[in-house]
Structures are given as C-alpha cells and as structure tokens.
Structure 1
Amino acid sequence: MRLVVARCSVDYAGRLSAHLPLATRVLMLKGDGSILIHSDGGSYKPLNWMSPPCTLSQVELDDDQTAAGVQQVWQVTHAKTADTLVVSIFEILHDSSHELGVDPGLVKDGVEAHLQKLLAEQIEHLGDGHRLVRREYMTAIGPVDILARDASGGAVAVEIKRRGDIDGVEQLTRYLELMNRDPHLAPVQGVFAAQEIKPQARTLAEDRGIRCLVLDYDAMKGVDSGRPTLF
C-alpha cells in the first residue's frame, strides 16, 4: 500500500462528474489497483475513490498546469466502465509504501460458533448434572448445535443463537420433532440459548415446552461483564 499526503485537487468523470478543490488530503493507493482519497474528517468514508479493476498512469503536464503550480497529474481509469479519476498534485508532503501481506479477514467475536464452543466446555450452564454428548449432532435436516444428557440421563437438544428470535425457535422445534422419533433419544428436551432472546421468541418457546437460556458471553469467556446471567 502507498500512502501519500498531498495538496491536490481531484476531478471525477463517469456516470456523474465531481470536483474536489485544492486542499491537503490523504491518497491511499492499494495493491488491488484502487485509490481512495480521504480528508481529516468524515470518519471512514473517502471523499472520492476508484474501485478495482483500474489502472493508474502519470499524465504529462501541459503549460497551463505547470503555470498553475501542478507538479504531477495522476489519471486512474476503470477497466470496465472507462470512468476516470484525475488527481492534480501541487505538493507532496509525505510519500511512503508499506507491504501489508495477506490479510486474514475479519474475525468476529461472539459469533454462534464461539458460543457453542463455550457452552460445550461449560455444559453446567444447562443445569447441575448435565453432560455433553456431542456438538453438531446431525439430524435429517441439519445439525443441532449441542446434544447433552441431563442428570437423569434424558436427552437435551440445544440450539444456539446470538440473538434469539422466532425463526430460531421454529428451527429447534423441527429438530425436536425429528429427534423425538428416535427411540434411543426420546423424549428430548429442547433448550433455546442466546445472548438475547426476543419476548415473542420466549413466549413461543415456552408455549412449546422449550426452555430458554440467556448466555453471558463475557462471563463465559472469563471477562466480568457487570451484568447478571439470566436463566
């Protein structure tokens, strides 16, 4: 990635025309060919940009540009649409390049897979005497997140969501219907577990005999959230 801080003006021509008058800005040239033009405000959103695939070329200055004090002109052209972004640079204040390598992508914390892993490791959140049978117990319509046994040996099917809504309750209901046809499992108790359960989902779950469990993700990770854990 190349980062340039420069006094520049910018002109965009394509499906619409736009002009940024002369000011000091950050020009971000990325390895995929894209360019983003940032000011010192506006949070993450650039003032203007050109998405890949595109190419950058340096244009030869004419007499008028030289007389106006322009030092360089960059023209960025989109490969598919022929839209152009022309950056007229009057002064470069900073110019550096950095090799960032391959980015692993965004890793979300607190997703359902993390909750499933933590609950499997801390199966006692289901109640005293519970033990884990397995994660991702396969049924004919997909895997239920956790299969456990309670203190008396009864089967417990747990469906985990970050935010529990009616669709999640319906999903667990379908799993329970299939699992209760298996004489080795029936009767199967259902537990709907989530960090937050919507009132309508709780009402539906309880009407169908499904127990609701609110998970405190921070507490399960060993981080004090300051919030009580509800069951």
Structure 2
Amino acid sequence: MLSKKISLKQVEEYLRNNPDFFLNNPDILNSMKFPLSSNKECNETNNQVISFKDWLINNLKDKQKSIIENAKHNYFTQKKVHDAVISIIFKGKKDLFEFINNELPSFFDLAIINVITSKEDVSKEYGLIYASEEKINKVYNNNESLIMDAADESLGFYDEMNLKIYSNAIFSLKKEIFNSQSLLVFASKDRQFLTNRAFDLILFLSKIVQQRMKELQIGQ
C-alpha cells in the first residue's frame, strides 16, 4: 500500500488546528531547525537555520530591542511637552529663541530645534537658520501643516551645523509670523521622525511656539 504524501499546507493546517502539539511532543523541537530570526525580511536575505533554543533566545532579544527602541522614541511625553509649554509662554523675544535653540533640543534629546527663515536679518538677530525662499517653498505646506519624514540633504538646511541629520519634523508657520513662509524644525540624528509617533504632541508644541512668536511680534 502506497503512503499518501503530505503537503506543506497540510502540515501547516494541522499545526494551526492543534496549537498544543508541541506541548504534548516537546522532544520534537530538539530535532527541528528554525530560521535565524522571526523577522521575515531578515530571513529573506539570510538562509541560516538554528536550533529551537537559539531561535527562542533571538526572539526574546528582538522583543527587548523593540521595547528599548520604543522607549527611546518616547521623548515627546505629555509631561515634557507640558513643561516646555510653561517655559515658552513666559519667554521674551531673545529668551524665546535661546530657549528653543539651546535648551529645548537636549530636553527632547534631539539634535536641532530651530526656525528656518528666508529673512537674513531676522536669522542673524535671533540665531535662526537661513535658507532661500526657493528651498523653503519646496517644503512649505499650508499654514500649520506638520510633516515627519527623512531629512532631505539636497535642501541643505542643516549643513552649517556639521551634524548628520537622519529625520525631521517640519511645521509650516503662518506667513504672518515673519511676513513670509518659514518653518519650525525638529531634527534628529536617528529614525525618530520616520513614524508618526507623538505627532499630535509635536503639532501642539509647534502651535504654542507659533502663538508665542505672534504675541511677541517676531519679525515685525
């Protein structure tokens, strides 16, 4: 009598329908081979196989790494934003930009927080980033628009800082602030702004900064 060949799909269906199979047959695990990682993309480029024990250890490491990564990107907590807002609303013209440029970046563990303007005199007076209207217009969106993405090196916004910026959040300030298009930027040396983590908090903080600049009549 010929034995019927079992397909991979049948094996998969059986295991899915019997999730306690390995609990009842733990010895089988010791003779099986597992992929190097539970990450599908990693396995597509690496065909290495490992034991169940090593696979389990690797999975735990991956989960721990993910937890650490999430914590690392959790800079914009509500409390930090609240504390920053309290400081911002009491700052004068000079103090406001000194606080934004020098203190706020370390507070949120960022490389740069600053305003980009095409007004060279205002840029020099307050220590802002100067860029041509043409370059600003390539990024500027509607008033109070926030985008979070990889930094565009071709724009050269951060060239004079001698920092390798990987990602940034860019808020389009109302034109009335400087009587021209201008940007409030949050720049990071890592991938922090490649996701929408803390989008609402960054947007809220940006609007507070904008409102304070409006009250102080910056650029007028």
Q: Which has the higher contact order (CA 8 A, sep 6+)?
A: 2
Flag the structure with higher helix content: 2
Give the number of the structure whose alpha-carbon radius of gyration is greater.
Answer: 1
On whether the aligned pair clears a TM of 0.5, the verdict is no
TM-score by length of 1: 0.21
TM-score by length of 2: 0.22
Flag the structure with higher strand content: 1
